[in-house]
Structure 1
Amino acid sequence: MGFSLFLSSDKSQNENDRDSILESEEINDVNSGHVELNHNNQLFQRNDNIGSSKKNTVHTVNNVVELDETDLEISELDDEALVEKLPPDIAELPKIVRESVTLDDDPTIPVFTFRYVLLSLIFIPPGAFIDTLNSYRTTSAAYSIFFVQVASHYFGKFLARVLPNKEINCYFFKFNLNPGPWSIKENVLVTLTAASGATTNQGTTAISIADLYYNDVTNPAVALFFMWCINLTGYSFAAIARNFLLYDPKFIWPKALMQSSLFNSMRKADFNRADGSKQMKVFFYAILGMCIWTFFPEFIFPMTSSLAFLCWVAPRNSVANFIGSGMGGMGFLNISLDWSNITSSVMLSPYWTLFIQFVAFVLSCWVLIPAAKWGNLSSFKAGLMSNRLFTAEGKIYPTTELMIREGNHIYFNETAYEIHGPLHMGAQKAWTTFFDYAAYVSAISWIALFGRDDIIDAWKKFKTRYWKGKKSENTTKNFTSISETYTDRLNKIQSVYPDVPLWWYGALFSVTFVILITIFATGHMFIPWYTYLVALGFGAVIVVPLGYLYAISNFQLAIGTFNELVFGLMIQGKAGGKHPASASSYGAIAGDAWYRAQYMLQDQKIGHYMHINPRHVFWSQLIGQLFGVPFNYLALRWAIDTKREYLDGTITDPLHQWTGQSIQGYNTMAVQYVLVGPTRLFSTAYNRPIPLGFLFGAVAPVVIYGLHRLFPRAKFNLWNVTVFCAAMSTFYGNLSTGYVSQIIVGTISMFYFFRYRHKVWARYNFLLAAAFDTGLNLAILLIFIFFSAGKQITMPNWWGNNADSVERCFAI
């Protein structure tokens, strides 16, 4: 297969685009168009000859922007010959951006309103609760932010009709209950607030490990402040990368683009645009269809979640069952019809990303696993697809015996270690750890080689903006220099709004620093205070490389294993910090420095696409966190109190869902790195090759870069080592189904339709992705309410819900 399949455009696509343009009734010519600022720095847009059948005009009256209801219809002008007709500042925008965003704005629309606050407080609790529960499941799809996006829009319109136009005076501030028609900008801000608060929290991992495996219950107040502060630290770290990755149009942030596309479809529908109304009908039908269907794989007909064809042929053959099963087997030719095993990422990520991930899955599950099981790849045969630790004889390692408690300290039990011997990982766990290490290092190596020019260019613009720019009389304020350093239309529009001052991020970091250092210095959350400083340092280093990867590919790298290793190296031989949960406390800090920075940057990019004041976006993130974290904690307590026997392994969940796979994996790493220690762990011949993953991660991008320089037409630059290593580090022990389905859906969406039916793709792809996720999560919520919230109701066993094996793989 040639590398040309990854290219986003070719001759057939250009011909298709040209046909789309000729068929368009809304665009006949584009001769001129530009954005200017009046003397009060307010935007007005003049498009003198855009469209002969519809003309878009934006002008100012008494320094207030007025907009017609039509948008600029320029998204289909993408043929190389025709794109020259676009104004230069529009032509600078990538094609996929021009198809999804609007290029007009009204800065006078009220955004930070009472309606916004009320709806935010309504939509955060269910999301924070559900998303936290998902972290204890084998498969999950995050609480659909698209549901919030759509539902809040219609709730907002309802509030605009029923609330009185009344001003409320609260001494220190005043606000109007209903300042006018509901706006899409309020809708955006509600969604961003929910995106911040209606998510899970990294801090739940350490708290869960301590409770589930070691019966140590964290003080609720300490837990809440720890969970708040690690996330807010990450938001403050967004300042490190935003000037490199936010303003430049080439960093499209695919998920931000998808959400913007949905916002603009709703906006068109509000204006009674035929295309917008049709899109929204498709969106709602897709939600309904997916919601109804999800009841089958998740409750009524679980067999459809993993169609193991080889098991049907030989249901009692152990070899065929192991090869074909997607629940504890290789998942060969296994198809899943459960959207939770597919998710919308396959309709957002570039096809090269999906292809690399599938190649990694094939290599890991269909090549290495049989080589380890039946070949000579691994000398240790026990626990092949398990993330537990074993003795040399293949028995589950009694890790609790490695601990000696003395007061608040936990020490390593040398005697027990001598009795039970070195720890052994299953073969799959060993190579996933190897590639975990490689992925982290390769992210830095990759950006140094392939992203160097982009980062250097962004740094030069940053210097111009914050140093040279301030010397000019015309750039006394930060925000006015954005449109001078970045000249595209979106940045010109956004330059109307004041940017977030850097000192806001500094103040946020300072507050969280004081609280966290106090928590650690007083002996809470298991880690020595000095390791917190190291966590901040590693978090700061990785923000730009991982943000770069996510901004261009929608691929988010999990970095937990590396962080736990660093922590283990710091504390081995020390008296304090030996509690196994300490590694996850450290990892939550170092990890959230990147994860939450990414959330902040992505939401700022949505604000950029939707023309929202960046300061409003900043405060929306803080409001979401302050309200969401308590519900994260409530969900944690519910999961542990009601699902403990599944989560700690006492009883096996028949659907292999409430396995606590993630928590169990972190506990395994904790025992390795905290109790045993990296030096002792990697001293055995079996484990000694694993740290070579660092070398692989550093060298492999250099090899790819060399091949790219030698053969530039072969597109070796698309073979991203970080994506490959991260996919190779995925643990498939509990679930290996869904990956064939992912590449099938991804090929249809991101290859065939993107390349050969691009007009249809541009109109419906992002909407369907959002609708499918929304329908899935709505169904999971309804299943929870109807069958789990009160009395537990289970589906009766039948052919499609066999009590022994829902896949009908009876010999595995």
Structure 2
Amino acid sequence: MSEKHDFENSCVEKADIADEVSLEETEPENSKIEAVRLVVPLTDDPSLIAMTFRFWVLTTFFSILGAATEQYYFFRASKGNFSIYFVNLASYGIGTFMARTLPTKKWTVFGHTFSLNPGPFNIKEHALIGIGTSAAAGSAYAMYTLSVMDLMLQHRINALGSMLLIITTQCLGYGMAGALRKYLVYPGEMVWWPTLVQVVFYNAMHNTDEFRNKKMIRGWSYMKYFWVFCGGMFLYQFIPQLFAPMLMYFDWICWIKPFDYNYWALFSSMAGGGAGILSLTFDWSAIGGSNMWMPLSTQLLGYAGVILSYWIIFPIIWLNNIYDAKIFKAALSPSLFYMNGTRFKINSVLNPDFTLNEEKYAANGPVTMTPMYALIFLYSFIALGSCVTHILCFHGAEMWRTWKSAIKSTDEDIHQKMMKIYPEVPQMWYAILYVAMLALSMLTVEVYDLQLPWYGLLFAAAIAWCLTLPIGAMVAITGTGPGLNVITQLLCGFLFPGKVIANMTFKCYGYMAMWQCHKLLEDLKLGVYMKIPPRAMFVAQLWGACVGAVFNYIVMIIIIDIKRPFLDGSVQDPSGLWTGASPQVYWGSGLIYGALGPARMFGKSSQYHFIYWGFLIGAILPVIQWVLTKKFPSVKWSALNITLIAGGMSLYPAGLVIGVICGLAVCIIWQWWLFRYHKNWWSKYTFILSAALDTGAAFTGLFLFLFLQGGLHPKLVFNMPSWLMNYYTPENDNAPYLGVNRCGAAGHQWQSGMLEK
């Protein structure tokens, strides 16, 4: 896709800046891929030790920090980011300090000799820390299922069952990777494009003289530059996150008519509000540093989808009350409602085993949803269908040639040849891991009453096996590919209707098996480029996944126990910061596909039966583009990627449409103006500045939760006094306003804009 070519061009432009090893034209053998030749050096030092005492200490530390930070933001309105660039920079500084100060004495334990300080902090050790941390620094997908069960069903399975669910879903795909590495890692054509950015970063830092002598503004070193801007953002974020929450939801147009129902629906961006048209935000975690370096075309198409969906289609639906949009009193909500607009409470129609009681459901009447939430499913189906046909139409021939060349070629990739001096991970290790995780998965679903029978789990695993190889080839070669979350939920909805927990569990195992397999394969490719011993890679990945699982769970339990009323939707957070939007969206789709079933929600008798046309629409549009390309070859029709546009259209299923204007402004400034007219400046500062800002913002959120919002102790709670930018009444009902953004009437006591009675 176009992202691949953008990346190839950026690699060429950044080659000198990154100080990678340049190759002579007379080099006898090199990679077949130009971007790889420009970025990945043909050098290796087998004497460097990757798995050291420093690795274990730093990987564990950053894994805990990353897992806790990401899980914290899982429940927040704005999504912070634990940047891997921060890990790379911080671990470099700490690692070199440890290399200078730790004792070099050698120890012998059970015949094995080791040292706490085997020598200088080296590039392989550094890269392995980043790889291990990346396996942990996220919110495990199983946290959706566990948090939804806890918040919406008041059903918390014990710690052992929770840990088994998290670890098995995280590690099942790792076992699959062993069988697929021959096809998706070893061939040189399987590039896995994001790894090249990491290769540039590590080689730039460990080109010691250049890195130490490289000066930023005011003669600052790389590390000083990072920490200055990280610290500045850390302090700044206290303003929108604590002192003035209105700066997160700066819905200025809504102030014209704050008690008008239509203005609230169109211009409010706060939770439970509307489309946030022309809304501003001054919270960096709502903007994100990725706007500074993601390909311009990718971002513009995504923002075009957001504007088309929320600024054009939604106003038409709302103002004309299409599908009774105004009756729900929640313009953008992932919740389900009865036909009269009251919120559907699933607990009242469930059996004791959490399956749907058909008689109780029929007695209460049919359930529906907001029109925009229904359209989210349509857009998702369009994205999935268009992704497949776009790849086939515009990259199919190229992929097929590449695939045949990779499989049939007797010329082994030069980097894979260089890896042969290291012992490979035996196939049996992966097989044992997979069988163990599959057995534990079946034990988990059967013992802990997750409604999914063991054969249902095997079917989810079979889906992952069937699709991981072809989709993995797409991702490795082109840089993009579809996920299995929609397909798995849809299939499970037909197989096990009325079982919401089964649907969420099936989706979790089927989707994550493929995703985690691709994640490990991508890191294995990074290991090949960095010449890290495969067995060290195997251990690092598993260690990071396990550490991350433990601290994801701990942080989830702490936050739910403290913030439950805000997260389950029973009480609105006056600051608008705690919404539980992510689990509520997951719960909404779980209700639709699981408890009620796609046959009931999207069948012929449903008013939303049209969403299935999304598959056909998505499949046809790229074909039309391909035909136009043949007829008008001077126009690059493939650049109009339907998948990216549809992805933008479905980007905010729970509302909170914040950061659009400011994010787009950052994108245009960095990816168009600076990249085009000040390319040297862009290349020198963009990645490190992005990492510094994201890291500072993430640390602010974590600090506030631990020390000012009861994270460490219930007494450590500070409530910011009410003032202009943090307005609320003593009763906490925010009368006469709905939220700190001063947009919307409390209690829905509107002065105008309502339907005529």
User: Normalization by structure 1: what TM-score?
Assistant: 0.81
- Partner residue in 1 for 2:234: 291
Q: Which amino acid aligns with 1:290?
A: M
Q: Which amino acid aligns with 1:727?
A: G
Structure 1 residues 266-305: aligned runs within 5 Å: 266-268=205-207, 273-275=212-214, 278-305=221-248
Distance 1:690 1:207, change over 3 A: same
- Partner residue in 2 for 1:766: 687
Identify the match of residue 213 of structure 1 among 152, 166, 185: 152
Distance 1:117 1:526, change over 3 A: same
Distance 1:5 1:624, change over 3 A: closer
- Partner residue in 1 for 2:340: 393
- Partner residue in 2 for 1:481: none
- Partner residue in 1 for 2:457: 532
- Partner residue in 2 for 1:478: none
Q: Which amino acid aligns with 2:645?
A: F
> What's the CA shift for 1:736?
0.6
Contact 2:269-2:279 at 8 Å conserved across structures? yes
SS at match of 1:713: coil
Work out whether 1:752 is the aligned partner of 2:691: no
Contact 1:404-1:412 at 8 Å conserved across structures? yes
> What's the CA shift for 1:361?
0.2
- Partner residue in 2 for 1:806: 740
- Partner residue in 2 for 1:563: 488
Q: How far apart, in 2, do the equivalents of 1:94 and 1:747 lie?
A: 28
Q: Which amino acid aligns with 1:802?
A: Y
Identify the match of residue 731 of structure 1 among 652, 656, 668: 652
Q: How far apart, in 1, do the equivalents of 2:635 and 2:26 lie?
A: 31
- Partner residue in 2 for 1:168: 107
Contact 1:305-1:338 at 8 Å conserved across structures? yes
Contact 1:269-1:276 at 8 Å conserved across structures? no
Work out whether 1:343 is the aligned partner of 2:279: no
Contact 1:6-1:351 at 8 Å conserved across structures? no
Q: How far apart, in 2, do the equivalents of 1:6 and 1:610 lie?
A: 21
> What's the CA shift for 1:315?
4.2
Contact 2:379-2:647 at 8 Å conserved across structures? yes
Structure 1 residues 213-292: aligned runs within 5 Å: 213-239=152-178, 242=181, 246=185, 253=192, 255-268=194-207, 273-275=212-214, 278-292=221-235
Q: Which amino acid aligns with 1:763?
A: K
Q: What residue ranges of structure 1 are gaps of 5+ in the alignment?
A: 27-69, 76-83, 470-483, 573-577
> What's the CA shift for 1:86?
8.1
> What's the CA shift for 1:512?
0.8
> What's the CA shift for 1:175?
1.8
Distance 1:130 1:654, change over 3 A: same
Structure 1 residues 653-692: aligned runs within 5 Å: 653-683=573-603, 684-692=605-613
> What's the CA shift for 1:786?
2.8
> What's the CA shift for 1:395?
1.2
Q: How far apart, in 2, do the equivalents of 1:254 and 1:655 lie?
A: 40
Structure 1 residues 58-69: aligned runs within 5 Å: none
Distance 1:249 1:749, change over 3 A: farther
- Partner residue in 1 for 2:320: 375
- Partner residue in 1 for 2:394: 450
Q: How far apart, in 1, do the equivalents of 2:28 and 2:276 lie?
A: 50
- Partner residue in 2 for 1:505: 430
Work out whether 1:612 is the aligned partner of 2:546: no
- Partner residue in 2 for 1:352: 297
Q: Which amino acid aligns with 2:345?
A: P
Q: Which amino acid aligns with 1:485?
A: E
Q: Which moved more, 1:683-692 or 1:390-399?
A: 683-692
Contact 2:381-2:612 at 8 Å conserved across structures? yes
Work out whether 1:588 is the aligned partner of 2:532: no
Q: How far apart, in 2, do the equivalents of 1:6 and 1:599 lie?
A: 18
- Partner residue in 1 for 2:77: 138
Q: How far apart, in 2, do the equivalents of 1:711 and 1:446 lie?
A: 17
Q: Aligned-pair RMSD on alpha carbons? A: 3.4
Q: How far apart, in 1, do the equivalents of 2:615 and 2:744 lie?
A: 41
Q: Which amino acid aligns with 1:665?
A: V
Q: Which moved more, 1:673-682 or 1:97-106?
A: 97-106
Which whole-Å deviations, capped at 9, do the CAs of 1:448-486 have from their partners, x for residues lacking one? 333323442443344346xxx5xxxxxxxxxxxxxx333
Distance 1:558 1:210, change over 3 A: same
Distance 1:545 1:494, change over 3 A: same
Q: Which amino acid aligns with 1:430?
A: A
Q: Which moved more, 1:554-563 or 1:632-641?
A: 554-563
Contact 2:496-2:502 at 8 Å conserved across structures? no
Q: Which amino acid aligns with 1:399?
A: I
- Partner residue in 2 for 1:187: 126
The number of residue pairs the alignment matches comes to 724
Q: Percent identity?
A: 29
Q: Which moved more, 1:273-282 or 1:756-765?
A: 273-282
Q: Which moved more, 1:728-737 or 1:506-515?
A: 728-737
Contact 2:250-2:280 at 8 Å conserved across structures? yes
Q: How far apart, in 2, do the equivalents of 1:259 and 1:276 lie?
A: 21
Contact 2:199-2:529 at 8 Å conserved across structures? yes
Work out whether 1:486 is the aligned partner of 2:425: no
> What's the CA shift for 1:417?
2.3
Q: How far apart, in 1, do the equivalents of 2:672 and 2:6 lie?
A: 9
Q: Which amino acid aligns with 2:360?
A: A
- Partner residue in 1 for 2:751: none
Contact 2:189-2:402 at 8 Å conserved across structures? no
Which whole-Å deviations, capped at 9, do the CAs of 1:126-162 have from their partners, x for residues lacking one? 2222222222223212333333222222222222122
> What's the CA shift for 1:496?
5.2
- Partner residue in 1 for 2:755: none
Q: How far apart, in 2, do the equivalents of 1:9 and 1:127 lie?
A: 27
Identify the match of residue 781 of structure 1 among 696, 702, 713: 702
